[in-house]
Copies of this chain bind each other. A is one copy, B any other.
Amino acid sequence: MATAKPTHSFKTPCEQCPLRPLPHFREFSREELEFVSKFKRGELAVDAGATILVEAAHSAHLFTVLSGWGFRYKMLEDGRRQILNYVMPGDLIGLQGTIMGEMQHSVEALSPVTLCVFERDKLMTLYNRHPSLAFDITWIAAQEERILDEHLLSIGRRTALERAAYLIAFLFERARKLSLFNGGNVIPITQQHIADTLGLSIVHTNKTLKKLAGRNLIRWQERGCDVLDGEGLMQVAGWEGMLEGKRPFI
């Protein structure tokens, strides 16, 4: 199993952050940007499949995803794995470990990922001097909680077909808002990941995805899911989508 390894540590100044211009994110004041820029210690690039953070590790760093896809997961002792959520540009990772001392989940890269690395010890300074950014961090935590609520509803109460439709629609909507698709609509994910997210076996996942493909909602490609009809997926899932509006990020 590969572990996170820096390939280079060029540092994009936050003032030129490629994410900030996106309409999905709220605008920052000059002071905020200045502080975040000082808060940022460097960048980290990891390969697809690399482990970014490991469960039970102490003194984790705090990261913001700058580019790429990843996922958070937990495992039982005998190897059963549950994917909890996916991480995409703008997402904060390692907050639990930073605030409460120990990570209780792992994070793995789905594609090559670049991360902004933040000084763990400066987090208190952020709370002391920039209440608006502190509020943003709480906002991000509350948003993650919302997403987990919806996933829980999905796994607990939706049928396999609904669950699969929900998950793909969810990933599609998030990626679309971040302008992550260039050309196609392909989500870089494996059927095993979908199975481990939905709490299903891989065989049953495969048969379920075939049904969605049969309805012309998706098409499976080498190494990914091509979304043909996001609206249709939401309808199958009985899911309204996430609330609109700009979101913060650090």
Contacts and interface: CB of A to CB of B under 8 A. Distances in A.
Interface in A141-177: 141-146, 148-153, 155-158
Q: How many copies does the complex hold?
A: 2
Contact of A105 (B81, B137, B149): B149
Interface residues of A, number: 49
A107 to B, nearest CB: 12
A135 interface: yes
A128 interface: yes
A158 to B, nearest CB: 7
Interface string A232-244: 0000001000010
A32 B90 CA distance: 33
A134 interface: yes
B152 A141 contact: no
A155 B95 contact: no
A208 interface: no
A96 interface: yes
B153 A74 contact: yes
A101 B146 CA distance: 12
A160 to B, nearest CB: 12
Interface string A48-64: 00000000000000000
Contacts of A115: none
A157 B82 contact: yes
A131 B127 contact: yes
Contacts of A156: 82, 155, 196-199
Contacts of A99: 135, 138-139, 142
A90 to B, nearest CB: 16
A122 to B, nearest CB: 13
A192 to B, nearest CB: 14
Interface string A181-198: 000000000000000111
A-B pairs, top 4 by smallest CB distance, nearest first, are A156-B199, A141-B141, A148-B148, A127-B131
30 contacts: A74-B150, A74-B152, A74-B153, A76-B157, A76-B238, A77-B238, A80-B157, A80-B158, A82-B152, A82-B157, A95-B138, A96-B146, A100-B142, A100-B146, A124-B135, A127-B131, A127-B132, A128-B131, A131-B131, A134-B134, A134-B135, A138-B141, A141-B141, A141-B145, A144-B145, A151-B152, A155-B155, A155-B156, A156-B196, A157-B199
